[in-house]
Structure 1
């Protein structure tokens, strides 16, 4: 068993001390510091071309990945294992008056002793077995474990019959520009050095699945994540004559009631179930106050998948939107009739019917009706819209749909369904290939060997339950599934674009062996040191050892 605790702890402290909040200059500082540290290791002093600082591509920010590799000398195999993890963190504003200490674990520990804390956090703090601070769990202790291992194997290359690649990527907490750019480096190294990538090991954090859960989880594959979005139009009217129109916010509210927390939209695979969708934004698109009802509304939802494709999700959500629209109109008519009875006004039947289109369906209709005049107008509109740097990909997509809607001849109330953000693909690791089977067997053996050294159960599951860069290491979706993303994202090719073919070309099986803790992305983020600093590096070491023995 590797005696690695103190070295991994020291690396963790070094990394946490550097504030590297996503989309800030800190990401760049972090990358340069990590590159300097790696370059100081004797192996990389002797082989400087084996470590690189690589700027991201197609990125509005200036930031970098850090990559390195060690070539084994035990044999002539080109089998190559990737160790990966992200160096960016979420922000620190939630630390409030302790903000200045967020990235200083030892000082933060002392300050927290004087704070009123929940019982569990207080117990962890006083035990001395937990480290607090931004990034200690998500996921700089994971990078520290990989940093230790790349250093170890650089000093012991004779243990490797194959090669070990280290990747510390930026921008995991936002747009995944880091890992997507790293795919280009992996491709180049494959051509230059003949690397045969057989496995990837991520080191993102793991947490209890419920109160009282003592398991420490390792994940094979990962959940997929989509952002289905809805542009909703009604029929405008003065609020003093509210039943002469249809408020799109009313439809949006019914849509959220239908979709939010709906177990019918949980995706089960391999005995594991995703959490249901939940709304992340709901708004109308009025620029300012008027006494006219809104012309349109916009809502989007987080949506996790295990086995469904993006095309499947569109089909299911179109059905749910039709149900919601029908419910909204039924309620509207019932209330209108009740109002007419109270007021004595005559009831007038409105002609509205539930109408739901995907963006692809609307585009096909508009191109058919208007030809190049529509297509050219939308191309120009998107280029002008790109000049507004305040628009993120989600609002950019909404504005494109809003503009396209102006070309619709039939402007009766409708819901347009589309995707407005990055699709993080799902990954199944079922043993269907030799590389998958070898990785599963190596993991199972590593857990069996390490379990006696740790008091809590180490349990493997099939899907990492959070969004992570693991999604861009392999691809389980077919072309039809990916096309459903590109054809239904209004910003595709302008504000947003992903080379999913690069992911498919790499297509390496991936697992997650990461630090254990609680409250990631919260003020009391903390990791349990025994598992994170000792068990995690040794589990990862044993997997590498078996794959490259």
Structure 2
């Protein structure tokens, strides 16, 4: 099908998107917090002002169920002449502004920051290169400009639909909490399923307008992504053996075990995922500590850390198998090294008869699920579950989900009556499923729009390389999540009675929704940094026009 001629479509987006972006940036909406409520109301105000609200089929605020901050998703819906429906998505929250330092009073004031832009950069050269085509401010690129684009699109579509009914249905959602625990988009999953049932919709997919940037110095491309990266957070409870520091060979320093595992796993490029020409960043530790809470001269006999692992195609089961194999190798090599050190030390000490008493060290590596099975065999499921329930009650007041998970893993270890050295591997929140590119009408429409604009350096890549809400809109077919749910201590099945401090995802609902995902967002630099900025010419004018053309292509295709 031929593209609609660009000359027949108005191209006066710039001033509108700039105004909406400035108004959104001026509202502090650090997640989690009450500011997200104010910005949701502002999104709805922008969607409906000037009597445009009466042109939507539906618009409003959808409360996030059980949210302690009483936050809401803002939405607008246009029911066209066909069931074919496009979703426009964006998040309205930001990270904090403390990184602005002395410039923090103006962190939400784009014009004021422009006047002070030299102070934003670490070098005068960088400041000079940032010309007048940039808007500064927290959330300018990540991603209030993307939400502003969606608002401008919805308003124009509503006005067009009033004059001549659209062949296509469109729904826009602006969600909070993307920078924290994605409560907004998880609520959106339920909302979109309800909307689909109510109006008999057939979702073509979602365009998420989250931030994009250059992938290397000098890169001039403007990227579109047809899938998204995922993330798993495996945790390692490292159990040593207690001893006095004067007799270290009678025990094992748990910190040494943790350090060897970190040395092997962190920045290990053999654990990178590769798919369709893209490669994930290697795993890194996000936290590590031993579990002593006071000073004494006893060896630390327990330590733990967790590892950030990005995925393109590796599932929780496969990753767990690889980590267990790697940890077993580390354990074997470390204990052999300690054995050899002890033999040399006793020989140098002139000790007699140590050879007859010497016993080579052995250790074990287990998953949380394996440890649970062992404990149940010894004690029975009722006793094990009762002990874990009691620990859950005690740990539920801890604000950090990783710490709550650790408490349950420690309790299960004590129930097992095992002895160290050992490593227990389990999962903790958050989990972001990766989503592979999904061929279909939306991808075809975008490919046609890109082909129609050779003058713009557009490139379609398979996976959005940053964590995003898109992960919760589709689960790749065939993914096995049993290894994830069985090895996450605080996992709670969706639909069961709520437990304080539990982690759950509407996995069945996500599978039912199954939206193809696209990220096509504003272009800028320095997300989460104080020189955060959005390129106005592309983001406020070119981008909304290209997405509008995509929608028109889909509309024409729906009508044919």
TM class by shorter chain equals over 0.9
Give the Å deviation of 1:459.
Answer: 0.9
- Call closer, same or farther: CA 1:78–1:12 in 2, change over 3 Å: same
Aligned twin of 1:422:
430
What is the TM-score with the length of structure 2 in the denominator?
0.92
Write the distance in 1 (CA, Å) between the matches of 2:508 and 2:28.
34
Aligned twin of 2:106:
101
The correspondence for 1:516, drawn from 517, 523, 546, is 523
Write the distance in 2 (CA, Å) between the matches of 1:239 and 1:475.
50
Aligned twin of 1:139:
143
Secondary structure class of the residue paired with 1:410: coil
The correspondence for 2:97, drawn from 92, 95, 98, is 92
Contact kept? 2:222, 2:523, Cα under 8 Å: yes
Between 216-225 and 347-356, the greater mean CA deviation after superposition: 347-356
Contact kept? 2:46, 2:151, Cα under 8 Å: no
Give the Å deviation of 1:231.
Answer: 0.7
Aligned twin of 1:243:
249
Alignment of 1:52-201 (within 5 A): 52-72=60-80, 76-114=81-119, 117-118=122-123, 121-125=126-130, 127-157=131-161, 158=164, 160-201=166-207
Contact kept? 2:273, 2:312, Cα under 8 Å: yes
Q: Render the CA deviation track for 1:361-408: whole Å, top value 9, x for unaligned.
A: 11111122211111122123212321x1x4311111011101111111
Write the distance in 2 (CA, Å) between the matches of 1:129 and 1:341.
72
- Call closer, same or farther: CA 1:41–1:361 in 2, change over 3 Å: farther
The correspondence for 1:256, drawn from 242, 245, 262, is 262
Aligned twin of 2:546:
539
Write the distance in 2 (CA, Å) between the matches of 1:423 and 1:94.
27
Write the distance in 2 (CA, Å) between the matches of 1:329 and 1:242.
13
Aligned twin of 1:308:
314
Aligned twin of 1:280:
286
Aligned twin of 1:382:
392
Contact kept? 1:121, 1:524, Cα under 8 Å: no
Aligned twin of 2:372:
363
Write the distance in 1 (CA, Å) between the matches of 2:360 and 2:169.
67
Q: Render the CA deviation track for 1:182-240: whole Å, top value 9, x for unaligned.
A: 11111111122222111100011111212222222110110111111111100011222
Write the distance in 2 (CA, Å) between the matches of 1:358 and 1:154.
53
Contact kept? 2:91, 2:176, Cα under 8 Å: yes
Write the distance in 1 (CA, Å) between the matches of 2:337 and 2:469.
43
Q: Render the CA deviation track for 1:231-250: whole Å, top value 9, x for unaligned.
A: 11000112222221101110
Write the distance in 2 (CA, Å) between the matches of 1:33 and 1:231.
45
Aligned twin of 2:470:
470
Give the Å deviation of 1:285.
Answer: 1.4
Secondary structure class of the residue paired with 1:297: strand
Contact kept? 1:124, 1:130, Cα under 8 Å: no
Give the Å deviation of 1:352.
Answer: 3.0
Write the distance in 1 (CA, Å) between the matches of 2:484 and 2:43.
35
Contact kept? 1:198, 1:508, Cα under 8 Å: yes
Question: Is 2:271 aligned against 1:265?
Answer: yes
Write the distance in 2 (CA, Å) between the matches of 1:297 and 1:462.
38
Contact kept? 1:394, 1:421, Cα under 8 Å: yes
The correspondence for 2:46, drawn from 28, 37, 54, is 37
- Call closer, same or farther: CA 1:60–1:120 in 2, change over 3 Å: farther
Secondary structure class of the residue paired with 2:54: helix
Contact kept? 2:14, 2:541, Cα under 8 Å: yes
Write the distance in 2 (CA, Å) between the matches of 1:307 and 1:406.
35
Secondary structure class of the residue paired with 1:450: coil
Aligned twin of 1:12:
21
Write the distance in 1 (CA, Å) between the matches of 2:347 and 2:67.
60
Write the distance in 1 (CA, Å) between the matches of 2:393 and 2:309.
29
Secondary structure class of the residue paired with 1:548: helix
Q: Render the CA deviation track for 1:490-545: whole Å, top value 9, x for unaligned.
A: 01114211111111111010100011111101111111111111221122112211
- Call closer, same or farther: CA 1:82–1:492 in 2, change over 3 Å: same
Give the Å deviation of 1:50.
Answer: 0.8
Contact kept? 2:204, 2:515, Cα under 8 Å: yes
5+ long unaligned stretches in structure 2? 1-5, 493-498
What is the TM-score with the length of structure 1 in the denominator?
0.93
Residue correspondences, number: 533
Contact kept? 1:261, 1:277, Cα under 8 Å: yes
5+ long unaligned stretches in structure 1? 432-436
Give the Å deviation of 1:166.
Answer: 0.4
Write the distance in 2 (CA, Å) between the matches of 1:150 and 1:192.
21
RMSD: 1.7
The correspondence for 1:401, drawn from 404, 409, 412, is 409
Aligned twin of 1:434:
none
Write the distance in 1 (CA, Å) between the matches of 2:520 and 2:174.
15
Write the distance in 1 (CA, Å) between the matches of 2:290 and 2:273.
30
The correspondence for 2:445, drawn from 439, 442, 450, is 442
Contact kept? 2:55, 2:158, Cα under 8 Å: no
Write the distance in 2 (CA, Å) between the matches of 1:13 and 1:253.
47
Q: Render the CA deviation track for 1:229-281: whole Å, top value 9, x for unaligned.
A: 11110001122222211011101111011111111101111121111111111
Question: Is 2:219 aligned against 1:213?
Answer: yes
